[in-house]
């Protein structure tokens, strides 16, 4: 038997097929014949998706937290920049006011 390469399917394709399996409009056997993929492979994809569902919500919460932390970090850096600008301005004004009052 010739050395056949294992066919690689994209994540989008697998997701589409698993959605069709979960809709239950067609049997896994029908989908297997339609796509030319062994039913056991389709069941593996389905089981993989179902096993990952609980983590989906956990991952979304972590993603939201990372986004919030990034926003806070950005705001913090902006505030530190503002503090630096105001400190420089205050120092400059103090020097100018000393010079101004010495002249009088």
Q: Are 14 and 46 in contact (CB under 8 A)?
A: no
Average pLDDT over residues 17-40: 95
Total-model pTM = 0.54
**Contact yes or no for 45/14 (Cβ under 8 A):** yes
pLDDT in tens, 52-82: 888 888 878 888 889 999 999 999 999 999 9
Structural domain boundaries of the chain? 11-103
**Pairwise CA distance, residues 14 & 79, whole Å:** 46
């Amino acid at each position: 038997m010739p050395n056949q390469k294992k066919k690689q399917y994209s994540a989008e394709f697998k997701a589409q097929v698993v959605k069709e399996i979960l809709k239950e409009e067609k049997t896994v056997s029908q989908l297997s014949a339609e796509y030319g993929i062994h039913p056991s492979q389709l069941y593996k994809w389905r089981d993989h998706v179902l096993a990952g569902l609980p983590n989906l919500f956990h991952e979304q919460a972590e993603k939201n937290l990372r986004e919030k932390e990034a926003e806070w970090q950005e705001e913090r850096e902006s505030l530190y920049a503002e503090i630096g600008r105001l400190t420089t301005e205050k120092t400059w004004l103090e020097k100018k006011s000393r010079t101004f009052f010495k002249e009088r």
